[in-house]
Structures are given as C-alpha cells and as structure tokens.
Amino acid sequence: MGERLQKILANAGVASRRASEELIRQGRVTVDGHRAEIGLKVDPEQVEIRVDGRRISTAEKKVYLLFNKPSGVLSSTKSQGGLPTVLDYVRVKQRVYPVGRLDAESEGLILLTNDGSVAHRLTHPRFEHEKEYRVELNRRPDDEQLEAWRRGVVLTGGFRTKRARVWRERADRRGHWIRVVLQEGRKRQIRETAETLGLRVVRIIRARLHALELGALKTGEWRELTKDEIAQLKAVVRPDR
C-alpha cells in the first residue's frame, strides 16, 4: 500500500507537506517520468521520484541543525533583495530547510532539518508548540500593557492573538526587555502587538523553539543537535492522529 506523494517528499526533506503539495501542483514533480498529481499514492521503494529533474532519495540521512540567525539574514532558502539566507551560513551535504520563519530583522534560534515530518509537526498551528522570545522595547511597559498582551489583542485586519505568557526580564541602560511565549506564529505578530499597545520593538531574539534552547550559541554560528535533543524532540513531537 502506497503513501501520499507529498508525505514522501516531506519525509525526504524536500519541503513541508504543504509546500510539497504546491510543488506537485506546479508540475515540478514526476513519478517514473510522468507528471505527478495531488492525491497520488506510491511506494517510494518501487518508483523513481524527481523534483525539478533531481532524483529524490527517500533514504537520505536525517539532519538536525540549530542556528543562531543574525539580523539581516532571511530564514529562507532563496535570497530576496540581495539579503543572505540561513543557507549561506549553514553548509552541509544534505539539503536542509528552515523550520518556521523569523523576519529578516529578528534574531535567534532557527532549526534546519531534512526531516519533513518533524518540520510539519513543529510548524502546523494545531500542534501549538511553544516559541519563546526575548524582546527589547523602546520603553518600560506598564502592568496594563502586559496584561493586555497576555489576554490577546486585535491586530490590523481583525486578527485576535491568543493568550500568551509575558513578563518583564530586566531594565537597564541597554534597554527594556520582556519575555514572550507564544503558541502561534502570525507574521510579525510580536511587532504588531507591541505597536497596538503603544510600544515599539527594538530587538527580537528567539530563545527557544519547543524543547530546543539557543543557549550560549553565538550569533551566526550553528551546531548539530545532540542525540538527547533529537530524542527529546521526537518524543514530544507526536505523529498525526
């Protein structure tokens, strides 16, 4: 019995399931030389699968990398406007993809992997995995602003943010820092929330993604996950039900 083609592509690290579906729609995927269609089920051991003419190995070694993204670097595989991407810093033999996004101005933890299942479960909204950020603001937020942030606010377009954990970290000559823990990931959500509350974000650093922590990894550096981190990641990131 075969598996859906988009799941096979995701497991091979080509892209997330959703992105793999788009590759199929665009006609960029072939199975035994024939253009693939959405919904196709195949046995990856019995057919030849290609994306943009490149044969996909379903037995590719799984790689898990932690990268501390600098500001001004895109969490993407393709450059835009001449900006560098995470792949300009992280070079491995396997083809890896960033899990989730940080906007170009933001910094911090990015997971890169060719494990499509892990990427899918970490980024799909229904799994609600936590993401923790250190956020520097232009001034000290008052108690009412923090409480509103915790309850959720209505952003431009009518989107209402979910409840969040927010607390002050420190206030010193270098700025006013808070911690924000989210279980959702709308684009530029932290910046828009701060603006809605009359605050301005100076700097954002993602410190944690689910069970993975940035720790002492320096800006622009990367490392492989330890065996314990991989085991912990797989133990908590459960399969679809």
What positions carry a catalytic annotation?
103
Report the C-alpha dihedral over residues 22, 236, 64, 11, rounded to 10 degrees: -40
Query: Which structure tokens are listed for 93?
Result: 């033999």
In this structure, what DSSP letter does residue 183 have? S
Euclidean distance between the first and the last CA atom of the chain, given in angstroms as a whole number: 19
Q: Using CA atoms, how far apart are residues 44 and 32, in angstroms rounded to an integer?
A: 11
Helix (H) or strand (E) holding 23: helix 17-25
Antiparallel, parallel or unpaired: β 201-209 and 107-113: parallel
Q: Using CA atoms, how far apart are residues 95 and 63, in angstroms rounded to an integer?
A: 9
